[in-house]
Structure 1
Amino acid sequence: MALTIVSTQVPTGDAPICDVMLEPYIVIKEGDGPGTACHVPDEGCLESGARFRLRSRWFRAMVHGGSAVCSVHPDREATIQCLLCLRAHAPAPLSFHCGPECLKEHWRMHKDDYHLRQYQNGGVENGYASNGSSYRNSSSHEEWVEVGRSRCYVPTAEDVGCVLKFECSIADSHRPYYQDMGGLCMGSTTARVRPAPQPPVRAIIPLRHLAVPKLRHEGRFTVLTYNILADLYATGDVYGTYCPAWALSWHYRRQNIIKELACYRADIVCLQEVQSDHYEDHVRDAMQELGYIGVFKKKTTEVYTGREMAIDGCATFYRRDRFALIKKYEVEFNKAAMSTANHFPEPQRNAALNRLSKDNVALIVVLESVAPMAARQKQLICVANTHIHANPEHSDVKLWQVHTLLKGLEKIAASADIPIIVAGDFNSEPGSAAHTLMVTGSIDKTHPETAHDPAQFLQTLLPVQHKLSLRSSYSAVFAGNAKDLAVQQQAMRMDPRTHEPLFTNLRRDYGGTLDYIFFTPTLLTPTALLELPSEEEVVRGNSRDSGLPNARYSSDHISLMAEFQLVIPFQLE
């Protein structure tokens, strides 16, 4: 029996993209049989009993001639080069921009230490040194340098501007010296590797009109919330019509998301839709390298992805040089549903239980500052991170989940007079019953959404109230007399009726605000906000009917961040 490679193809679209995995499609045949997709294990695989192995090699070569491409917009020709990148010894292809406005918009990314440091060490790529074996093509005078020895390869910054070549052959372990069968080697060459579009760089907008005199700077901290779009929901059926497959892959998106989080350096980070296996394999370790400690709470129901079962949840990270974990509380709305349903007689009990039994969760942490933050005292801060039920036809469930979370926070507030942050994806638009309850403290039968009560449980709970005084952080843009131009520009990207952003979730078929950072205004004052992008900025470089995610924004949500100032010191008695 003999195996023969019929053909190889590296699917790259127009061109391979830096940091996007390349997986060649290989067709082999056995004897005189028909060609089929390759299922031969890799040469380095330890699988027992496999006689044949696939021997793979990746090479790169610099292509002479041709113009450089923009490092932010790979589909555009470069016209200007960033000198800061060159001084930092970053690879030259990452310093090119398509114009002065592009350079101006993204210069902070180049200045950021994290962004530059990843290119200063050089060294190993895919487990092989960049100065590995090489050979010269005498006909084209191109020198091919070996960069990888596995079937798949992830182009690095050193590959940008170069072409890649993939070669493979079948090795037979029964043959002496493990020689290639017939000495034949099949291969294919790609176009030039293009730099990956850089994640968005959004400015921090100071709220000087809300500054409190005589408050010390060490009493400030930042909170960021971000629904990062779990891979199990990032399907081509939903987003593939406007987001290229390589930009939708988790391998690409996770790098963009981590870069974005590293750029903002929030003290506390609340993430939603964090897939449990990705948290353990990638997100937790990446955040630890950035100086964070994380806690995670997964949902209570797994989802079949077509390949395996997966589950997502909420993850809260805090900078270990600023905070320490004092207490953690986990809220499973499924369990709370059983407690609520038991208050009703049959058959209303079963109807309420079926309606309220959703797999959503909330994660509450009480943090203590490592160093004194104000008045020479360490401070306690309570942060709730949640992802509320998404079905738009279940406004009654959303209201009940929010009310359940607030009742739990009331118990914490009763034991310690500490500032409270409630952040996350509430899947509720401004003015909805859930949002109104958060910011006003009560909901009664006059709200139109309370009429939607198919399980007949909501009417018995009304009026729904809570004793926490909460306010949405981005509403601070409209507080006071803001004369700062940057603040006024942010106000133009917000709804003047609801005092909330025009959107935090933007897909081709939907655009609206679902994410919030709420805080206790009697104990905290917002001093800065992460700027909101316009819809034009989000879809720039894409078709008009596109949305999120795309090559630059790696989730269908945008991140929100607020800086807060402690008004007075707080401590447990």
Structure 2
Amino acid sequence: MSKESDIYNLGGIPSTSGSSPSNWDCSSVDNLNANNETRPVEYVPNLVLTHPIISLNSVATNFYNINFYHTSNYCYMGEYFQQSSNRHYCRTDKEHEIKNLEQRNGFTSKKQSSCWLLLLAIYFLLCISLSDAKENNCEEENNDQRLLSLRKWENVKNENQSNRPGFIFTVMCYNVLSQDLLSQHPYLYNNHNNVSLQWNVRWTNIFNEITKFKPDVLCLQEVQESHNKNYFSILETIGYSSIYKRRTGEKTDGCAIYYKTDLIQLVEHTSVEYFQPDISVLNRDNIGLIAKFSPKLHPTREFVIATTHLLYNPRRQDVRLAQVQLLLTEIERISYNAQSEGNYLPVILAGDLNSTPDSAVYEFITKGKLRYEDLSPRALKKGTSSFTGKLLVPAKLRITDNCQHADLLERRMKNEKLSRTKELSVIELFHSDKSNETQSNKKDVNTALHSTGTLTHNFSFKSVYSQGRPEINEGTTFQGEWVTVDYIFYSTKNYDVSIEGKFKLLSRYRLPTKEELLGINIPNSVVGSDHLSLMAKFKLEY
């Protein structure tokens, strides 16, 4: 077959045998003149003729943004085109035009070869990327499992432990991370697996952790109100009952205490609202929850458990200190018992204090005393040129610097016994759920009990864990680095930590050190919150 009669199938499909230029019908070709002679058109470099079926070559060519035209019954470059059986053919009139087309096809082939190389490179890059992603996922899963291996129960050695009978129970403290708060602060979780941040995944992990250990008392923080009703309430089907208090502002989360009803009975409970009108240091919506329990088999052996979630703002240590002053004042009211050892029932305080072991808040709780007047404003740091001064909580709340209600203290000294209802009518703390009606003929405040520049309290609290010791630097959450802000404290006889009171610490669920936690993100595939849970086993001696 001569070149003049060659059929060029630009779509890559060979011509039908027996066809010839003389058999072509070009009557509908627009580019013919009156004498049926070819009217050449201007050569368009970006024009590539292809078969309607897009081939790999056309895909590769598309990387160069070359335009594709499916032509039918048109003539370009003096070429006749006819569509036959979904194929595009061209016949040239002159040999030099055929050569021009051959050169053009050769140029396109080179471009297509380059495109194939580009496609191949992209393919390998995708393979490498997928391989890296798979490797990262494997590493992430290994870190998640490594975290579980770091946590185990460890017995507490105590030479003074006795063999006296008692009620043995476990307490879990857990900030479960409100999903609303997570959604409002997504930048805190940029390096996390998005799947692990979904509530249904997180709830499954939280529920699995709770049901795995089945603690007798659960102290929970950041429990979203809707989740408390629709998710955490399922714990009631496995033997728990609960009390709950939402924050007082617009936030949708709060604190909850769940307890096993077959072992423990609830004697009474109350909540503390840290928002107090017209007091600047107490203008936040955080709350505390306090419950008095007794073992079902020994109902006279009462004890108190409190939980709280203090303000987060790292710069406002003064606000957290004032919140603790209110909380301890209410714990003092609920736990006071003149017939008990030291006049108080045994107390456990568990929660997210948003304070590290080197903070003024931690020092105050564990040492029972803090001279704050010489500390810096707000941050309460030592060694600064400005000072807080003697005023922290105004005297109009009638809360002493020893964390007691001044009006109740006066009645105790007179041996007056007041009902809880009467107490609420005497104290000055504001509470949104109560009438807040107080006596108008109260005596003037005893200035010796207020604004002294030093805070004290009547409880000797000891931490279940070893926070603050440089050789055991534990972590409970990540805030730019792994830090400890969650605690379980329990009351002892005095601040000599070797002498315990009614509560005997038997064991604790180990917290990893900061070094062990490097490379681990939470929430993850096994941990449902951005805080680690804390657990301890106690014996309440009879």
User: How far 1:201 moved relative to its partner?
Assistant: 8.0
1:509-528 maps to which residues of 2 (within 5 A)?
A: 509-521=480-492, 522-528=501-507
CA contact (8 A) 1:210 1:527 kept: no
Question: Can you list the C-alpha shifts for 1:464-502, whole angstroms capped at 9, x where unaligned?
Answer: 111112111114xxxxxxxxxxxxxxxxxx5425x9752
1:203-282 maps to which residues of 2 (within 5 A)?
A: 203-210=152-159, 212-216=161-165, 218-235=166-183, 237-282=186-231
From the superposition, tell whether residues 398 and 452 of structure 1 become closer, same or farther in structure 2 (CA, over 3 Å).
farther
CA contact (8 A) 2:177 2:531 kept: yes
From the superposition, tell whether residues 204 and 270 of structure 1 become closer, same or farther in structure 2 (CA, over 3 Å).
same
User: How far 1:356 moved relative to its partner?
Assistant: 1.7
2:310 alignment partner in structure 1:
388
2:469 is the alignment partner of 1:505: no
From the superposition, tell whether residues 500 and 271 of structure 1 become closer, same or farther in structure 2 (CA, over 3 Å).
farther
Question: Can you list the C-alpha shifts for 1:306-334, whole angstroms capped at 9, x where unaligned?
Answer: xxxxx100010011111011101110111
Give the alignment's TM-score, normalised by structure 1.
0.53
From the superposition, tell whether residues 274 and 199 of structure 1 become closer, same or farther in structure 2 (CA, over 3 Å).
farther
2:259 alignment partner in structure 1:
318
Is the partner of 1:300 in helix, strand or coil? coil
User: How far 1:211 moved relative to its partner?
Assistant: 6.2
1:441 alignment partner in structure 2:
368
Question: Can you list the C-alpha shifts for 1:410-465, whole angstroms capped at 9, x where unaligned?
Answer: 12232363210111001111121111111111111345517664996469352111
CA contact (8 A) 1:239 1:549 kept: no
1:357 alignment partner in structure 2:
283
- Which among 357, 371, 375 is matched to residue 297 of structure 2? 371
CA contact (8 A) 1:439 1:469 kept: yes
Once superposed, which parts of structure 1, at least 4 consecutive aligned residues long, lie more than 6 Å away? Answer: 198-201
User: How far 1:257 moved relative to its partner?
Assistant: 0.5
Measure the CA separation in 2 of the matches of 1:223 and 1:280.
22
Is the partner of 1:247 in helix, strand or coil? helix
CA contact (8 A) 2:482 2:517 kept: no
User: How far 1:215 moved relative to its partner?
Assistant: 2.5
Q: 1:520 is aligned with what amino acid?
A: S
Measure the CA separation in 2 of the matches of 1:471 and 1:502.
16
1:476-555 maps to which residues of 2 (within 5 A)?
A: 495-497=468-470, 501-507=473-479, 509-521=480-492, 522-535=501-514, 538=517, 544=519, 547-555=521-529
Measure the CA separation in 2 of the matches of 1:225 and 1:461.
34
Give the alignment's TM-score, normalised by structure 2.
0.56
Q: 2:223 is aligned with what amino acid?
A: V
CA contact (8 A) 1:439 1:471 kept: yes
Question: Can you list the C-alpha shifts for 1:80-132, whole angstroms capped at 9, x where unaligned?
Answer: xxxxxxxxxxxxxxxxx99xx99xx79xxxxxxxxxxxxxxxxxxxxxxxxxx
Measure the CA separation in 2 of the matches of 1:471 and 1:517.
8
Is the partner of 2:306 in helix, strand or coil? strand
User: How far 1:378 moved relative to its partner?
Assistant: 4.6
User: How far 1:234 moved relative to its partner?
Assistant: 1.3
Q: 1:530 is aligned with what amino acid?
A: Y
Is the partner of 2:459 in helix, strand or coil? coil
- Which among 313, 327, 332 is matched to residue 273 of structure 2? 332
CA contact (8 A) 1:199 1:259 kept: no
Measure the CA separation in 2 of the matches of 1:390 and 1:452.
22
2:463 is the alignment partner of 1:472: yes
Is the partner of 1:399 in helix, strand or coil? helix
Count residues with an aligned counterpart.
Answer: 329
User: How far 1:288 moved relative to its partner?
Assistant: 1.4
From the superposition, tell whether residues 367 and 501 of structure 1 become closer, same or farther in structure 2 (CA, over 3 Å).
farther
1:52-451 maps to which residues of 2 (within 5 A)?
A: 75-76=137-138, 202-210=151-159, 212-216=161-165, 218-235=166-183, 237-285=186-234, 287-303=235-251, 311-334=252-275, 337-338=276-277, 350=278, 353-372=279-298, 378-415=300-337, 417=340, 418-444=345-371, 445-447=373-375, 449=380
Q: 1:528 is aligned with what amino acid?
A: S
Q: 1:255 is aligned with what amino acid?
A: T
Structure with greater proportional strand content: 1
Measure the CA separation in 1 of the matches of 2:390 and 2:536.
38
Is the partner of 1:273 in helix, strand or coil? strand
User: How far 1:271 moved relative to its partner?
Assistant: 0.3
CA contact (8 A) 2:281 2:318 kept: no
Q: 1:224 is aligned with what amino acid?
A: M
Measure the CA separation in 2 of the matches of 1:201 and 1:290.
28
From the superposition, tell whether residues 465 and 455 of structure 1 become closer, same or farther in structure 2 (CA, over 3 Å).
closer
Measure the CA separation in 1 of the matches of 2:481 and 2:359.
16
Alignment RMSD: 3.1
CA contact (8 A) 2:474 2:514 kept: no
2:533 is the alignment partner of 1:559: yes
Measure the CA separation in 2 of the matches of 1:457 and 1:536.
37
Is the partner of 1:415 in helix, strand or coil? coil
User: How far 1:553 moved relative to its partner?
Assistant: 2.0
User: How far 1:264 moved relative to its partner?
Assistant: 1.5
Q: 2:469 is aligned with what amino acid?
A: P
CA contact (8 A) 1:229 1:273 kept: yes
Measure the CA separation in 1 of the matches of 2:313 and 2:160.
39
Measure the CA separation in 2 of the matches of 1:302 and 1:221.
35
Measure the CA separation in 1 of the matches of 2:264 and 2:239.
11
From the superposition, tell whether residues 443 and 262 of structure 1 become closer, same or farther in structure 2 (CA, over 3 Å).
same
Measure the CA separation in 2 of the matches of 1:200 and 1:257.
17
Measure the CA separation in 2 of the matches of 1:453 and 1:253.
42
CA contact (8 A) 1:396 1:452 kept: no
From the superposition, tell whether residues 446 and 524 of structure 1 become closer, same or farther in structure 2 (CA, over 3 Å).
farther
From the superposition, tell whether residues 436 and 536 of structure 1 become closer, same or farther in structure 2 (CA, over 3 Å).
closer
Is the partner of 2:210 in helix, strand or coil? helix
User: How far 1:515 moved relative to its partner?
Assistant: 0.8
User: How far 1:560 moved relative to its partner?
Assistant: 0.7
From the superposition, tell whether residues 276 and 282 of structure 1 become closer, same or farther in structure 2 (CA, over 3 Å).
same
Measure the CA separation in 2 of the matches of 1:201 and 1:211.
28
Measure the CA separation in 2 of the matches of 1:549 and 1:331.
29
User: How far 1:530 moved relative to its partner?
Assistant: 0.4
Measure the CA separation in 2 of the matches of 1:234 and 1:259.
20
Structure with greater Cα Rg: 2
Q: 1:504 is aligned with what amino acid?
A: T
Question: Can you list the C-alpha shifts for 1:272-324, whole angstroms capped at 9, x where unaligned?
Answer: 00000010011112x11332111100001114xxxxxxx10001001111101
From the superposition, tell whether residues 76 and 313 of structure 1 become closer, same or farther in structure 2 (CA, over 3 Å).
same
Measure the CA separation in 2 of the matches of 1:473 and 1:512.
16
CA contact (8 A) 1:538 1:553 kept: no
Is the partner of 2:212 in helix, strand or coil? helix
